[in-house]
Amino acid sequence: MKYRITHFSRRLRGYLTRSAIRRYLRQRRVEITGLPEFFGSWPVFMVEGTLRLGPSGVFRSLRLRSVFTALADSSLEIGANAYINDGVNICAAERIVVGPFCKIADLVTIYDCGFHQVTPAVGPRKGPVLIGRNVWIGTGAIILPGAVVGDHAVIGAGSVVTGRIEAKSVAVGVPARVIRKFECCDDWVRP
């Protein structure tokens, strides 16, 4: 009898949590195709444009909350099975796409707009950010406007990505440069 009560209470708790997550996302105008999992503090979603989450994503915020912003007339898409850690900050002023199976480490920042002019003659830098499938972005990396990261690439901790990073490569530094290429199947997913 004890097993049945414990099993039932776990299922009820899971159902209530899933319902609360659905309601939380609906209130913030986040579009979902499947329910994500939240561990620790729930992420902050600020949506004036479009923000889409693919199915089975994991958002882990045990120390710092992650913040996802889609400004007016912008699009932010996070693919299926993405894994996002503590303190991640993603802000779309135009368009940001994070592909399926991406792993984003703590304190990563991704912006598609510089927001401020550097000089009176030059406006803020803008450009869509496209991150491919199964990309691993290391702790403290910064992805700037116009960056394109190919499928299966690895961005080293503390790197700053300003341009194109080839698929199946490891890039590190400021600005990030490819230091190594590797081979893998196109359908490979990092464990």
* Residue 1 within a domain: no
Residues 159, 138 contacting (CB under 8 angstroms): yes
Q: Does the residue 23 lie in any domain?
A: no
In a domain, 15, yes or no: no
Contacts of 100 (CB under 8 A, 6+ apart): 54, 79, 80, 81, 82, 133, 134
Residue 38 counted as domain residue: yes
Check which CATH number belongs to the domain holding 167 and give it: 2.160.10.10
Question: By the 8 A CB rule, do 31 and 16 touch?
Answer: no
Most confident of 20-24, 34-38, 165-169: 165-169
Q: pTM of the full predicted structure? A: 0.90
Give the pLDDT mean for 165-185. Answer: 97
Whether residue 80 has pLDDT greater than 90? yes
Of 116, 122, 187, 191, which is the active-site residue?
116
55 is a domain residue: yes
| 116 in active site | yes
Instruction: Note whether residue 116 is domain-resident.
Output: yes
Domains contained in the chain, number: 1
State yes or no: pLDDT of 93 exceeds 60.
yes
Q: Which residue range is the domain that position 100 belongs to?
A: 30-181
Q: Which pLDDT belongs to residue 117?
A: 85
Secondary structure of 89-122 in the HEC alphabet? EEEECCEEEECCCCEECCCCEEECECCCCCECCE
Average pLDDT (162-186) is 97
CB 25 within 8 A of CB 42: no
119 burial via Cβ count (<10 Å: 0-12, 13-18, 19+):
exposed
Alpha-carbon torsion, ordered 145, 147, 153, 158, to 10 deg: -40
Helix residue ranges per DSSP H, the chain: 2-27
Task: Determine, yes or no, domain membership for 5.
Answer: no
- Within a domain: residue 20? no
pLDDT at 18: 86
Token duo for residue 16: 């209530």
